A and B are shown apart, each in its own frame.
Chain A
Amino acid sequence: MRILTLVKRVPAPGARINITEDSQYVDDKNLGHAVSPHEECGVEAAVQLVEQYGGEATVLSMGGPEAEEQLRVAVSVGISKMVLVPTDGAPKDPQQTAATLVTAIEELEAADGPFHLIIFGNESADQGGFQVGIRIANALGRPMVNGIKGLELPEGQDPASGEGHIIARREVDSGFEVYELPLPACVGVKEGINLPRYPTMKGRLASKKAELTSVDASAEPGGQAQVRLKSPPEKVSETVILGNGPDAAPAIVDLLEELGVM
Chain B
Amino acid sequence: MSEFPSKANVVVIGAGIVGSCLVGHLSRLGWEDIVLIDKGPLPNPGGSTGHASNFIFPVDHNKEMALLGVQSANQYRDLDRSVDSGGIEVARTQERMDELDRRMTSATAWGVEAELLTPAQVKELVPFINEEIILGGFHCPTVSVVDSLDTGTLFRNEAMDKGVLQVFANTEVEDVETVDAPNGQQRVSAVVTDRGRIEANYVVVACGVWSNRVANMAGATIPLVPAVHQMADVGPMDVLAETNNEIGYPIVRDMDTFCYERQSAGSMEVGSYGHRAILHHPDDIPSNDEAALTPTEMPFTQDDFDPQMETAIELMDFLGDAEIKYAINGLLSLTPDAMPCLGETVEVRNLWSAAAVWVKEGPGMAQVVAEWMTYGYPRVIDPHASDLARFYPEERGDDHIWARADEHFIKTYGIVHPQEQWEGRRNLVQSPYYSRQEALGAMFFQARVWERAQWYNSNADLVERYGLSEREVEWDNRWWSPIINGEHLNMRENAGLFDLSAFQVFELSGPGALDFAEYLSVNKVCKGIGTSAYTPWLNEDGGFHSDLTMMQTSEDTVRIVTGAFDGGRDEYWIKKYLPEDESVTFKNLSRTTTTLGLWGPNAEAILSQLTDADLSFAGNSYGSVTNVEIAGIACTIFRVSYVGDTGWEIYTGWDNGPALWDALMDAGNDHGLRPTGMGVYAVTGRIEKGYRLMGAELESEYNPIEAGLARPKVKAADFIGKEAYLAAREAGDPEVHCVTLQVDDNVDSQGRQRWMQGGNEPILTADGERLVDSHGRVSRVTTAGYGPSVGKNLLLGYVPAEYAAPGTQMKVMYMNELFPCTVVGTGSAFDPENTRLKGS
Which residues on A are within 8 Å of B, measured CB to CB? 12-16, 18, 29-33, 69, 197-202, 204-205, 208
Contacts and interface: CB of A to CB of B under 8 A. Distances in A.
Contact of A200 (B293, B306, B320): B320
A12 B326 CA distance: 14
Identify which of A32, A199, A202 gathers the most chain B CB atoms within 10 Å of its CB. A32
Given A30-B291, A33-B299, A201-B234, 16 more contacts: A12-B292, A12-B299, A13-B290, A14-B286, A14-B293, A30-B285, A31-B286, A198-B323, A200-B234, A200-B321, A200-B323, A201-B312, A201-B320, A204-B306, A205-B306, A205-B313
Contacts of A14: 286, 288-293
B313 A201 contact: yes
B323 A199 contact: yes
A153 to B, nearest CB: 27
The interface size bin for chain B is 20 to 34
7 closest residue pairs by CB, A with B: A32-B299, A198-B323, A16-B289, A202-B320, A30-B286, A201-B309, A14-B291
Nearest to A17: B290
Nearest to A16: B289
A16 B290 CA distance: 5
Given A14-B291, A30-B286, A30-B290, A200 B322 contact: yes
B312 to A, nearest CB: 7
B802 interface: no
Nearest to B291: A14
B50 to A, nearest CB: 14
A110 to B, nearest CB: 34
B319 interface: yes
16 contacts: A12-B292, A14-B288, A14-B290, A14-B291, A14-B293, A15-B290, A16-B289, A30-B285, A30-B290, A32-B299, A200-B320, A200-B321, A201-B320, A201-B321, A204-B309, A205-B309
B322 to A, nearest CB: 6
Interface in B281-328: 284-293, 298-300, 302, 306, 309-310, 312-313, 319-325
A26 B287 CA distance: 15
B665 to A, nearest CB: 58
* Residue with the highest number of chain A CB atoms closer than 10 Å, among B291, B321, B325: B291
Contacts of B286: 14, 30-31
Contact of B321 (A15, A31, A32, A202): A202
Nearest to A12: B292
A200 B292 contact: no
A20 B321 CA distance: 40
A204 B323 CA distance: 10
B322 A201 contact: yes
Contacts of A69: 302
A197 B306 CA distance: 19
Contacts of A15: 288-290
Nearest to A206: B320
Contacts of B319: 201
Contacts of B290: 13-16, 18, 30-31
Contact of B292 (A13, A29, A198, A205): A13
A15 B299 CA distance: 15
Given A13-B290, A13-B292, A14-B289, A31 B299 contact: yes
B323 to A, nearest CB: 4
A204 B320 CA distance: 9
B323 A205 contact: no
A223 to B, nearest CB: 34
A201 B324 contact: yes
A18 B290 CA distance: 7
Contact of B324 (A31, A32, A204, A208): A204
Given A31-B292, A200-B324, A204-B306, A16 B299 contact: no
A18 B319 CA distance: 37
A32 B302 contact: no
A82 to B, nearest CB: 15
Contact of B313 (A16, A29, A33, A202): A202
B292 A32 contact: yes
Nearest to B233: A198
Contacts of B284: 29-30
Nearest to A30: B286
Contacts of A208: 306
Most buried by A among B288, B310, B320: B320
Contacts of B300: 32
A12 B299 CA distance: 9
A200 B325 CA distance: 9
A69 B302 CA distance: 9
Nearest to B287: A16
Interface string B581-622: 000000000000000000000000000000000000000000
Contacts of A199: 323-324
B789 to A, nearest CB: 59
